[in-house]
Structure 1
Amino acid sequence: MLKKSKKISVIAQNKNLSIQFSLGGFSFCISNSDTKEIIVFTEYFFEKELDSPQLLLQKIITIFGDDKDLQQEFTSIFAVHQNNLSTLVPNEYFDRSNLDAYLKYTIKTLTTDFITYDSLETINASTVYIPYVNINNYLFQNFGEFEFKHHSSILIDKLLIFSKGNAESQFYINVASNQLDIVVCKQDSLIFYNSFSYTTKEDFIYYILFTAEQLQMNPNEFQLTFIGNINKESELYTITYNYIRNICFFKPILNFFTDSEEFLNHSNFILVS
């Protein structure tokens, strides 16, 4: 595993732990419970995409056993499940007693799958998803009660806040290992959200252009904003630049990664921004 970390010299008695995990990696953020100031951020990249949640659990157990920053008491723990096993449902069509019905047409589900949901009150919708139950069980057994959400719920909520008051449609792309989330919003309204798996740069640009076409957004006119694991040297950036005229990277209000040689300011938006 490749590990990157940033720490600041602050003493805090009470600390919160936020973690985010996917089949491609694991990251965590430790903050001061009283001031909300970030103290530690660490990210682990796996050598390759893992094949199962069972292998992910093994990685996480190893990380918790080896990383001394995780071997302390925390006031609260918050977990973010990152996967594409989700769908967004308007509340007018939402029935929490029938969650499997929302996933069965787009995701292969099993009768044993645990399905849950997050409420997105700002847009009157719910994220229905399959969490990594084995990871939740491990966290509960070792830390007790904790909160968890799907990464898309946090992503949408945060981007709606940042786009509020902007009269132009905002086209955001959150880039992760083999996965991209596309969020399009205007002022405080969500226009579009979807998550796609990609293998090649051609897959990547296809989903972007297809979404733009479906929304009748001109690639020569709209502003595309990148978030996450991407930089100007990336082949993903290069191919996007060949088709989209206006590209920028997200500029967070809280620049914890400023002057960091390990992290870019627009990376790890979900845990840090």
Structure 2
Amino acid sequence: MIKQKTLRKRTKHTGATSQQKNLSIQFSLDGFSFCITDSESKSVLSYTAYNFEKTLSSPEQLLEKVIAIFADDPDLQTEFDKVYAIHQNNLSTVVPEVLFDRNDLLPYLNYTVKTLQTDFIIFDELPVIQANTVYIPYVNVNNFIFQNFGEFEFQHHSTVLIDKLIASSKDLIQETCFFVHVTASSMDIVVIREEQLLLCNTFDYQTKEDFIYYILFVAEQLQLDPESVPVTFLGNITKEDPRYQITYEFVRTLNFIRSTTRFFEREDDIKNHQTYLLLN
């Protein structure tokens, strides 16, 4: 069912000050990861990630994987003070506040997502850019989490991504910030200029050629020169990755995002930029 658990790490010296713990979960059709933090000190106590052997084809298959993980992983078989979940999928769009009607969400997705009248559509507020993320969550997984833990908070991954990257862009010297968040089968490209969002889009890809095509396509559409605009990676990519290597053939400057967490500083098999959404 699961190809491998990419990492399970616990801190040897946690600095925990309470017995209460918080659980943060991130899930997609590619995998499932979670971290546990101390409720008072906010220190990370453990992190676990699972990779699925192949990208799943439906939310129903995802639920089967999640149920199996919860049944097998003892770290998830306990009580938590707070539970927070990140839905990672391409069933979303960002709508400026001036164009937003919270009582009629379906039309916003009809342009980019195949929707059904029965789909449950919700939104996250994005006050940092005066906009809202409209999306379809994995309702079946939400129901399962609720059955296990009761009330919990959840957001779409693009909400978390935009919010964190705009904050991160304040510390960068370049005027235009070109971010690429990488997963096994999709990539989010986020372009920010002077703390304003120019673009946030998700592209599914199969090959490294697809991967570089979308980067160059977005650069062309926004009239950005790959010779002068750095690309900053985060997510599931390293310097040894073929996707990184092919990008380096076309883009002069490549970086990895600076993460505030130091949880994996001494790890060889995972880097801090790979867990940016969940841990940063």
The one of 32, 40, 54 aligned to 2:46? 40
1:188 aligns with 2:217: no
Q: Which residue of 2 aligns with 1:170?
A: 177
Kindly indicate whether the alpha-carbon contact (under 8 Å) linking 1:26 and 1:45 is maintained by their aligned counterparts in 2. yes
Q: Which runs of 5+ in 2 are unaligned?
A: none
Indicate the larger mover: 83-92 or 165-174: 165-174
> How far apart, CA to CA, are the structure 2 residues paired with 1:72 and 1:259?
29
Alignment of 1:58-207 (within 5 A): 58-164=64-170, 166=173, 168-207=175-214
2:264 aligns with 257
| Offset at residue 193 of structure 1 (A) | 0.9
CA distance in 2, matches of 1:162, 1:204: 24
**What TM-score do you get using the length of structure 1 for normalisation?**
0.97
Q: CA deviation at 1:204?
A: 0.8
Q: Partners in 1 of 2:52 and 2:217 — Cα distance?
A: 30
SS at match of 1:97: coil
Aligned residues: 273
Shift of 1:142: 1.4
Letter in 1 for 2:272: N
- Secondary structure in 2 matching 1:259: coil
TM-score (norm 2): 0.95
What per-residue deviation string (whole Å, max 9, x for no partner) do you get for residues 70-107 of structure 1?
11110000010000000000010000111000001211
Partners in 1 of 2:209 and 2:261 — Cα distance? 33
Separation of aligned partners in 2, 1:46 and 1:225: 26
- Structure 1 gap segments, 5+ residues each: none
**C-alpha deviations, 1:214-264, integer Å up to 9, x for none?**
111101001111101001111101110111010011121222110113311
Deviations 1:123-162 (A, max 9, x none): 0000000000000111111110000000000011001111
Query: What is aligned with 1:221?
Result: 228
Counterpart contact for 1:50–1:56, Cα < 8 Å: yes
Q: Indicate if the aligned counterparts of 1:118 and 1:149 stay in contact, CA closer than 8 A.
A: yes
Matched, 1:266 2:270: no
Letter in 2 for 1:6: K
Pairs within 5 Å for 1:9-20: 9=12, 10=14, 11=16, 12-20=18-26
Give the Cα–Cα distance (whole angstroms) in 2 for the partners of residues 265 and 146 of structure 1.
26
Q: Secondary structure at the match of 1:20?
A: strand
Q: CA deviation at 1:268?
A: 1.3
Q: How many angstroms does 1:211 deviate by? A: 0.5
Q: Separation in 2 of the partners of 1:255 and 1:204?
A: 29
Q: Which moved more, 1:159-168 or 1:202-211?
A: 159-168
Tell me how far apart the structure 1 counterparts of residues 258 and 195 of structure 2 sit (CA, whole Å). Answer: 19
Contact 1:164–1:186 at 8 Å: present in 2 too?
no
Task: Name the aligned partner's letter for residue 238 of structure 1.
Answer: Q
**How many Å separate the matches in 1 of 2:203 and 2:276?**
18
Counterpart Cα distance in 1 of 2:237 and 2:110? 32
Q: Is 1:23 aligned to residue 29 of structure 2?
A: yes
Distance 1:185 1:30 in 2: 31
1:236 & 1:261 partners in 2: Cα distance? Answer: 19
Name 1:211's counterpart in structure 2. Answer: 218
The whole-number CA distance in structure 2 between the counterparts of 1:136 and 1:111 is 19
